[in-house]
Structure 1
Amino acid sequence: MNTAALSLIDRIDNALGTAGVIVAGIDADQLTRDSLCPGWDIGFELNHLVGGMRIFAAELTGTDPGGDHHDDWLGGDHRAAFAAAAELDRAAWARPGALDTTIRLGFGEVPGPMAAVIHLTEIVVHGIDLAVLTGQEHLIDEEQAEHLLTVMRSMDFDAFRRPGMFGPERPVPADAVAHRRLLGFLGREFD
């Protein structure tokens, strides 16, 4: 596996670690608060993240994820559900040749490296959302946010600016911390 491949998989692993610390700090009574994703609450967003992790892991390993993306993946313990999904996800991406596969997503088949970037985006951005909404911004890895913002700015991102994905870019001061600039780039509305 080449260095770029290891770096991308390492980034997914690090993002899972950061998000895991954030999820561990979410209390059950916070799950019903509104999300930064319109029409969602924190519990739905966390469930979306866990479901996505399970589906990516299943796609990478050729197994059945055990449900659809928005089925109930959290059960009665959102922390344990995230931890179990993260373990499966890490193991799936760490498999030899993981980036050489084609991943079937809701909008079609995607080469492994692009699927990894999409997955990294899901983990980092939803992790940031959850941290902002639950008063845990101090746990955000600003390097992860800065790197992802750089990647997104380097691609033709307008194709992803549509309802249900990302909105139009919102103005954020240039000297704002990286995660705030990333949220603004993605069209998230926050204080």
Structure 2
Amino acid sequence: MDTLIGHIDRALDMTGAIVAAVDDDLLAAPTPCSDWDVRAVLNHTVGGMHTFAAALSGNDPRGARGDDWLGGDPQGAYAAAAEVDRAAWRRPDVPTATVNLGLGPTPGPAAAMIHLTEVVVHGVDIALAIDRPDLADDALCAQMLETMRGMGGIDVYRTPGIYDAEVSIPDDAPPHRKLLAYTGRKW
């Protein structure tokens, strides 16, 4: 579990660097997450971070996942959410916890994997939308893709609003593009 929490930290750092590169004029840019612009993907990510942190600590997330979590300071909102998120995943009871998510009661390690996937994939969504693929952590993306495939894949989650069908991509594509293609992003 410590390794998984370390990967969450790494994903938060990667996505934090990407978010720091988002100028206000890029918030309306389209993303590989088809119906969402950068602001919507970032808002979803920040809301998810608060939701997971609240579920881990047994607190109220102080809002619904679809609320405006960014206000007038998207970078500040992300940084604050990342701090709360890191603290929640460091709780000593996380490895044995049952986390109540929208999917129902979920064991702590499975919840951590879901959260890691959200932060990595949406971070890369934003990186490509702002034309900063250089900020994607390709080693982390490759590991994420290998883990997803090693767990039997994500076909059970290929439904509208979660993951679309895998998209064909050249074998020599960078790992961040392969990860997005695997999750059905057309970009």
TM-score bracket, normalised by the shorter chain, equals over 0.9
Tell me by how many angstroms 1:90 deviates.
0.2
CA distance in 2, matches of 1:175, 1:62: 44
**1:172 corresponds to which residue?**
169
- Cα distance in 2 between the residues matched to 1:31 and 1:53: 19
The one-letter code matched in structure 1 to 2:88 is: A
Quote the residue 1:186 is aligned against: 183
Matched residue pairs, number? 186
Distance (whole Å) between structure 2 residues aligned to residue 31 and residue 10 of structure 1: 29
2:76 paired residue among 54, 77, 80: 80
Q: Which moved more, 1:141-150 or 1:92-101?
A: 92-101
In structure 1, the partner of 2:113 is 117
Match for residue 54 of structure 1?
Answer: 50
Q: 1:130 aligns with which of 126, 129, 141?
A: 126
Query: Who is 2:96 aligned against?
Result: 100
Question: What is the deviation of 1:85?
Answer: 0.1
Match of 1:160 in 2: 157
- Per-residue displacement from partner, 1:88-117 (whole Å, max 9, x unpaired)? 000000111212111111121111111000
Please say if residues 101 and 112 of structure 1, whose CA atoms lie closer than 8 Å, have aligned partners that are also in contact: yes
CA distance in 1, matches of 2:103, 2:116: 17
Aligned to 2:62: 66
Report deviation, 1:73.
0.2
Q: Does structure 1 conserve the Cα–Cα contact (< 8 Å) formed by 2:15 and 2:123? A: yes
Q: Structure 1 stretches of 5 or more lacking a match?
A: none
Letter in 2 for 1:108: G
Structure 2 counterpart of 1:51, which letter?
G
Alpha-carbon shift at residue 136 of structure 1 (Å): 1.1
TM-score normalised by length of structure 2: 0.97
* TM-score, length-scaled by structure 1: 0.95
**AA at the equivalent of 2:54:** A
Match of 1:18 among 3, 7, 14: 14
Alignment partners' CA distance in 1, 2:129 and 2:90: 31
**Counterpart AA for 1:183:** L
Instruction: Give 4+ residue runs of structure 1 displaced > 2 Å after superposition.
Output: none
Q: What displacement does 1:35 show?
A: 2.0
Task: List runs of 5+ in structure 2 lacking aligned partners.
Answer: none
What amino acid sits opposite 2:143 in the alignment? H
Residue 21 of structure 1 aligns to which amino acid in structure 2? Answer: A
SS state of the match for residue 144, structure 1?
A: helix
Paired residue type of 1:45: V
Tell me, yes or no, if the aligned pair for 1:99 and 1:116 is still in contact at 8 Å: no
CA distance in 2, matches of 1:150, 1:46: 25
Q: Aligned equivalents of 2:31 and 2:137: distance in 1?
A: 20
Instruction: Output the aligned Cα RMSD.
Output: 0.8
The letter for the 1-side match of 2:175 is: A
